[in-house]
Structure 1
């Protein structure tokens, strides 16, 4: 697993330009929303967003900045899940899912202290991840991945329940993002 293949997978899944009426994110290209592209300094037409620009945005904003690259050195499958969730739901949501799962799996703070749910992968989150993996071993990464996907799936269903227009996306979200 490397970040380039993760980015390629996201771009393949997201496709080129899209501007679905039910998508609150508005116009996207390569899965990058117009708001993100503009914040990154892109001023052209969204249809013309260069793929190389999208790749750079994914690497910087959805891999390195949130610290998922540091997770990858410990638990590559977890980092891949965080990256994909971060792209689709926001990196703070992905990081908070990790913190929630680690808190729920720490057996009453027996193996490491509970984490503040700040949506950032910092020293405390990495230390908790290290302690969890040390205690649970290889199988722990698999269980943690299941917990992250359960949180993600629940959020998708809740989004569709709260906003019926999101039902247009629910099947694809579940088919392409959970267990993929």
Structure 2
């Protein structure tokens, strides 16, 4: 799995500078909010934040720290989806979607124990993923988990728009560019 290529795809989807009045994230460049940029050491004007800063943040905050590189060893398409979901909703949310799906597919703990949905990739989450893929097949199992993560993501988008009508400005784009 080429993380640089995945980051290029995310940046292409996210685009350049944005400061949409309905976006609670405020000034954003390459999909990196000002708050995330500041938390990762960038203090300059968001309008001119270098792409290399965004690439570094994506690699560290949205790939390495949440453990998606470990997921990629077993399920590369799933890891790519988790990265994209993490960029848009946060790594904890993306990882929580995976943990919830794995729990729902374990046939009442017959296949592997339930996970605590702690929103972190750890040894138990990786073991559950490994067991799920061994039972359901790497290709078929990964496809089903991708669908489950997409469904949970879509439901979250709808909820965000229902709870805050200003988010409806983004709803079509979220579904068009982020689901499936």
Structure 1 and Structure 2 fold alike (TM over 0.5) = yes
Q: Aligned partners of 2:11 and 2:142: how far apart in 1? A: 26
| Matches of 2:78 and 2:121, distance apart in 1 | 12
Per-residue CA shift, 1:141-176, capped at 9, x if unaligned? 101110000000000000000000000000000000
Unmatched 5+ residue regions in structure 1?
Answer: none
Superposition pairs of residues 29-178 of structure 1, within 5 angstroms:
29-137=29-137, 138-178=139-179
3-state DSSP class of the match of 1:42?
A: coil
SS of corresponding position for 2:74: coil
TM (norm. structure 2) is: 0.98
- The Cα shift of 1:2 comes to 1.6
TM-score (norm 1): 0.98
**Residues 109-136 of structure 1: per-residue CA shift (max 9 Å, x gap):** 0110000000000000000000000000
Distance 2:109 2:49 in 1: 46
Extract unaligned runs of 5+ from structure 2: none
Cα RMSD after superposing both structures: 0.6
Deviations 1:1-39 (A, max 9, x none): 421111111111111110000000000001000000000
Name the count of aligned residue pairs. Answer: 179
Q: Secondary structure at the match of 1:109?
A: coil
